[in-house]
Amino acid sequence: MKLQAYVAVFLLLKKNDEFLLLLRQNTVRDGGNWGLVSGHVEKDEGIIDALIRETKEEADIHVNCDDLKIVNVITHNKTDRPYVNLFFACEKYSGEICNAEPHKCCGMQFFKETELPPNIVGVVKLAIENIRNGIFFSELELSRI
């Protein structure tokens, strides 16, 4: 049986020396934890298109593909399927940031990279640590996240 991997995209939206984090609620995974604008790439959708779509759906802002830079890749088999998590950094956007999915998010806040909340989604925390340490790619075992 051929197993298809899930591809998830994450936006590290940076403003000065802070990242935008969203407090997840009513979600299948990681409720009560801070995460990034993120989501799955849908069928017949490009990776960048998915990130632009998710950014609009969750934060009601627009990012341009030319302003996105891939900064980290993390793969794992934590669920019933393999995952490929792609993290993109961006410092430019248009529009006013707002919580466009209050049923999935109960807060949005910028945090200093050195003062992240303790209840941060594991794969997001690892990606930020990887970036800080110059590690571009990680392949995880289940117990690490």
Domain ranges of the chain: 13-144
Q: What pLDDT is stored for residue 113 in this prediction?
A: 87
90-132 pLDDT tens trace = 999 999 999 999 999 999 999 998 899 999 999 999 999 999 9
CATH class of the domain comprising 13-144: alpha beta
pTM of the predicted structure, to 2 decimals = 0.92
Kindly report the number of other CB atoms within 10 A of residue 28's CB atom.
6
pLDDT of 3 > 80? The answer is no
Q: What pLDDT is stored for residue 142 in this prediction?
A: 56
Q: How confident is the model at residue 2 (pLDDT cuts 50, 70, 90)?
A: low
Percent of the chain with pLDDT over 70: 93
**Cβ atoms of 49 and 128 closer than 8 Å:** no
> Stretch 41-62: mean pLDDT, rounded?
97
Q: What pLDDT is stored for residue 21 in this prediction?
A: 98
Alpha-carbon torsion (19, 25, 26, 30), positive or negative: positive
Q: What pLDDT is stored for residue 81 in this prediction?
A: 78
Q: How confident is the model at residue 77 (pLDDT cuts 50, 70, 90)?
A: confident
Q: What pLDDT is stored for residue 1 in this prediction?
A: 57
pLDDT of 79 > 80? The answer is no
User: CB neighbours of 14 closer than 8 A, spacing ≥ 6?
Assistant: 20, 89, 90, 91
